[in-house]
Amino acid sequence: LATGNKSNSGYVGVLPSIVSSPSLEPIKEEDKLRPVANVLEGAKRTGRATGIVATSEIQHATPAGFSAHHVNRKHFDVIAKQQVYQNIDVVL
């Protein structure tokens, strides 16, 4: 939802390392784990204000999917650093 791309469990904002669905093409080696733009980044590029509202910690996987790129959703410190530099206008 955040990027429009399916990924592997535990990843945040990156392409999968393996595609296990028989209906999908295998992922190219050079594309594995590549960060992909999320909805907030797209909005920023077009001059819109951005924000995240969550009832969980902002570094949790769901809000992080809209604001960070990492291969481990549990690396909260890395995700938090990325979120700080995303220039998100509102975080609640």
User: What is the residue type of 80?
Assistant: A
Alpha-carbon span 10 to 1, nearest angstrom: 15
Extents of the domains making up the chain? 1-92
Q: What integer is the mean pLDDT of 28-53?
A: 96
Alpha-carbon span 71 to 52, nearest angstrom: 21
Supply the pTM of this predicted model. 0.87
List binding-site positions for Mg(2+). 60, 62
Q: Which residue, among 63, 53, 85, has the nearest Cα to 13 in the 3D structure?
A: 63
User: What is the residue type of 70?
Assistant: H
Q: Which residue, among 78, 86, 70, has the nearest Cα to 36 in the 3D structure?
A: 70
User: What DSSP state is assigned to residue 27?
Assistant: P
List binding-site positions. 60, 62
Residue-wise pLDDT for 9-34, tens only, equals 999 999 999 998 888 889 999 999 99
